[in-house]
Amino acid sequence: QDRTALLKFFYRKGRFYAQAQGEIPGRVEDRFSMDEYGGNLRLAVTVQEYEAKEIKDDRTMERLGFDYTQKAQTNALYVLDASLKIKGKIEGLAENENIRSARFLGDRGYFVTFRQTDPLFAVDLSNPEEPRILGELKVSGFSEYLHFYEEDLLLGIGMEADEQTGEEQRMKLSMFDISDPAGMKAISRFSLKEYNYSEALWDHRAVLIDPAENIIGFPAGGRSGQEYVLFSYKDGTFVQELKIDTQSKDGVNVKVRGTFIGEVFYLLFENGTVRAYDRQTGELLEELRLEKENG
């Protein structure tokens, strides 16, 4: 069975000290699958179990080792105390699926598993010793990244997939109403038909989200090349505000990040180029190239 070892440290007057260690079944997908709150550590994990078959020499019957085959795969949520001992758990969730994204906020936890469809689970963590599933919502595809967006809204960035085969097809944006965790609803979905990959699917630092300014931005790519797309969420619908070509002249895709100051939107490229655009019209206002200093 997969296991994850946990080590806890504290820092005082220039030195680190070991404080606790623990272990849980399963593996953690990313940093959003772990959260510390109220002195407890909450983790959403995927657990793989294996069957070990002994291998022997046909002639001498000497044991040569073991052959491991996957027996089962489930998902779980564990709550650990300050000493990293398990104090509460939910096990055996979504058999043969794996966790794709997770988010915790106060006494609530949300995570997505996937095989052919995307179950979004809502978990009540108000009693750390007895966490419980509040609701489950199944939609096609899956969300690789979750982000709380305004009150009672949860944004998902992910992939659409065939409900029968699970084959990934194209990117999508999803907005979930989580005002009632027991009756969550998918209230809006936007299909990004032109794009089938994005750095945002595996690196949250590629995503620009500002609910106060109503901005959702990230780089995305497809057959036509790489672009930076900017969306807003208005009256229950995703609206594409800008679409900017970011592919280099030689056709090479480069890392790019987006940000804004007032009504000016900026793209920052890994080669040192910075472009300024009008947020309303998308007009290129200025382009700068930051040269590296010698040494």
Average pLDDT, integer, range 35-51:
95
Per-residue model confidence (pLDDT) at position 293: 58
Express each pLDDT in 258-286 by its tens digit.
Answer: 999 999 999 999 989 999 999 999 999 99
Q: Which helix (H) or strand (E) holds 241?
A: strand 237-245
From 216, 218, 173, 225, select the one nearest 198 (Cα to Cα).
Answer: 218
Question: What are the residues whose beta carbons fall under 8 Å from the beta carbon of 188, sequence distance 6 or more?
Answer: 173, 174, 175, 233, 236, 237, 238
Write the burial class of residue 116 (CB in 10 Å: 0-12 exposed, 13-18 middle, 19+ buried): middle
- What SS3 class is residue 172? strand
Q: Is the pLDDT of residue 295 over 50?
A: no
Q: How far is CA 40 from CA 18, 29, 90, 158, in A?
A: 17, 19, 15, 29
Instruction: Please tell me which residue, 293 or 14, carries the higher pLDDT value.
Output: 14
Per-residue model confidence (pLDDT) at position 8: 97
From 110, 182, 114, select the one nearest 147 (Cα to Cα).
Answer: 110
Sign of the alpha-carbon torsion through 205, 97, 176, 25: negative
Average pLDDT, integer, range 133-147:
93
Express each pLDDT in 68-123 by its tens digit.
Answer: 887 889 999 999 999 999 999 999 999 999 999 999 999 999 999 987 666 899 99
**Cβ-contact 55, 34 below 8 angstroms:** no
Distance of CA 218 to the CA centre of its chain: 14
- What SS3 class is residue 37? strand
Average pLDDT, integer, range 32-44:
96
**Cβ-contact 45, 21 below 8 angstroms:** no
Average pLDDT, integer, range 39-46:
97
Report residue 294's pLDDT band, with 50, 70 and 90 as the boundaries: low
Residue 276 zone, left/alpha/beta (φ > 0; ψ -120 to 50; rest): beta
Rounded-to-integer distance, Cα 171 and Cα 50, Å: 33
**Cβ-contact 15, 35 below 8 angstroms:** no
From 103, 146, 109, 101, select the one nearest 131 (Cα to Cα).
Answer: 109
Task: Using alpha carbons only, give the angle 170, 163, 232 rounded to the nearest 5 degrees.
Answer: 40
Express each pLDDT in 148-169 by its tens digit.
Answer: 998 899 999 999 987 776 677 8
Rounded-to-integer distance, Cα 123 and Cα 230, Å: 31
Express each pLDDT in 201-259 by its tens digit.
Answer: 999 999 999 999 999 999 999 887 899 999 999 999 999 999 999 987 776 778 999 99
R_g (Cα) of the chain, nearest Å: 23
DSSP state of 32: G
User: Is-above-0.75 flag for pTM?
Assistant: yes
Per-residue model confidence (pLDDT) at position 1: 84
- What SS3 class is residue 1? coil
- What SS3 class is residue 133? strand
